[in-house]
Amino acid sequence: MTMSAREEIFKQLNQMDPPDLKPRPPEIPQIDLPDDIDGRIETFIAELTAKAGVAHRAENEEAARELLTEIVAAEQIKTIMIAGDDTTSSLNLKGWGEKEGVSVLEAVGYDDKNDYRRAAFEEADAGITGVDFAFSESGTLAIHHNSENARLVSLAPPIHIAIFPAERLCRYYEEVVLPAYTEQEGIPSQMTFITGPSMTADIAATPTIGMHGPKKLFAIIVG
């Protein structure tokens, strides 16, 4: 009986000697970072600043809105799109925008996806989001995306402003990822890591800011 091509392939595979697998390299030791909140914030600000981002600390939500007003004035922002996460909701940014003369677009308010994309790319001068986690090791923000927290708000406008409470700032990457993907409930379908403004060196190995995302990143830590 003639052996089929499939059977021939499996026969050859079964006759092969298993490869010698190299042992897994040891884990890279973590750098020692301060565990107190002031130390974590100081490290985060230093790391984000080194990567062309700007970070501020606000004592409370009122101080955060005051910092936001300063950023809007300095960057001449007229229209902002906000995500629908818990942080942006608690700040009452619609009321703030009316007071400061800034048009505030809500990402969750669009029924038509094309209208939403057009507003995110063409109308919004800046996008404001909350942050699910951040880690001071590299000055990185981590955002879970869902129907209330659309991804384009942090990617499409030329300026991204992230606002988050200090207790969401961890020290290391592992402290952020493991809880997010080990819980059985609420595992995010997408998760974005943001470390400074969008930057690439794809063309002639020349670093370019804002090629694939925001040109500027501001972070406001509340608490």
For residue 18, pLDDT beyond 90: no
For residue 206, pLDDT beyond 70: no
Provide the number of structural domains found in the chain. 1
pLDDT tens readout for residues 132-150 = 999 999 999 999 887 677 7
Band of residue 205 on the pLDDT scale cut at 50, 70, 90: low
**26, part of any domain:** no
Measured CA to CA, the distance from residue 133 to residue 55 in angstroms comes to 15
**11, part of any domain:** no
Band of residue 207 on the pLDDT scale cut at 50, 70, 90: low
Give, rounded to a whole angstrom, the gap between the first and last alpha carbons of the chain: 77
**6, part of any domain:** no
**3, part of any domain:** no
**13, part of any domain:** no
DSSP label at residue 23: P
CATH number of the domain where residue 132 is located: 3.40.50.10420
Measured CA to CA, the distance from residue 163 to residue 23 in angstroms comes to 43
The range of the structural domain enclosing residue 72 comes to 31-222
Q: Model-level pTM?
A: 0.82
* Residue 73, C-beta contacts closer than 8 angstroms, at least 6 positions apart: none
**95, part of any domain:** yes
More confident site: 207 or 82:
82
**16, part of any domain:** no
pLDDT tens readout for residues 143-173 = 988 767 778 999 999 999 999 999 999 999 8
Band of residue 211 on the pLDDT scale cut at 50, 70, 90: low
**45, part of any domain:** yes
More confident site: 141 or 20:
141
Q: What is the CA radius of gyration of the chain?
A: 22
The pLDDT value recorded for residue 29 is 76
